């Protein structure tokens, strides 16, 4: 394990043509989402576009050059308020070009112990995202045991379904209104 800084993480990501993320925590309390999450808790359903969000602009701009962005979100029920907010916000990521898949941890025993959060770049470079128990980001760590993370990714993907299908079937109230 090598603790890296956020600039190094960005450098790794900027070179990658395949960017996979596994998210498995009930909530992520990160400062860049504070305003949108607070608005969500007060009933405001904000929408983001590449014109209003640098992150979505990056996804849009890089997917048009052939970069694949994709993730699996493993959920626990009942959903936390944050997870509901996140499912709503993911629709904006998908509109920008990210492929998003969702799995309910209760669907299969293979999902029970998926409790790590990481980025996998080009299937060769792993950066584990370390959070405290409440969901505050602590640090990124580059990991050497790539096969372990490939196995976790493959297990999560095997039991996940596309975001649109998930929302239609399980959380229709979270489907975002058209922009």
Each residue's pLDDT expressed in tens, for the chain with a length of 179 residues: 787 878 888 889 999 999 999 999 999 998 888 999 999 999 999 899 999 999 999 999 999 999 999 999 999 999 999 999 999 999 999 999 999 999 999 999 999 999 999 999 999 999 999 999 999 999 999 999 999 999 999 999 999 999 999 999 999 999 998 87
The fold for domain 2-173 equals Endonuclease; Chain A (3.30.870)
Cβ proximity of 21 and 118 under 8 Å = yes
User: How is the beta sheet containing 99-104 ordered, strand by strand?
Assistant: 2-3, 137-143, 125-131, 118-121, 18-23, 68-75, 99-104, 161-162
End-to-end CA distance of the chain: give it in Å, rounded.
43
* 89: enclosing H helix or E strand: helix 81-96
Spatial separation of the C-alpha atoms in residues 62 and 59, rounded to whole Å: 5
Q: Where are the domains of the chain?
A: 2-173
Q: pTM of this prediction? A: 0.94
């Amino acid at each position: 394990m090598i603790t890296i800084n956020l600039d190094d993480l960005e450098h790794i990501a900027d070179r990658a043509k395949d960017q996979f993320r596994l998210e498995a925590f009930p909530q992520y309390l990160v400062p860049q989402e504070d305003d949108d999450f607070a608005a969500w808790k007060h009933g405001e359903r904000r929408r983001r576009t590449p014109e209003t969000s640098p992150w979505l602009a990056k996804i849009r701009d890089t997917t048009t050059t052939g970069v694949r962005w994709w993730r699996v979100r493993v959920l626990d029920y009942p959903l936390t308020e944050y997870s509901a907010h996140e499912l709503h916000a993911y629709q904006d990521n998908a509109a920008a070009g990210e492929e998003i898949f969702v799995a309910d941890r209760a669907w299969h025993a293979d999902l029970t112990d998926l409790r790590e959060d990481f980025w996998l770049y080009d299937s060769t470079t792993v950066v584990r995202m370390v959070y405290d128990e409440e969901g505050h980001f602590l640090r990124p760590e580059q990991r050497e045991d790539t096969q372990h993370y490939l196995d976790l990714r493959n297990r999560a993907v095997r039991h996940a379904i596309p975001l649109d299908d998930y929302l239609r079937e399980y959380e229709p109230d979270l489907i975002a209104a058209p922009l």
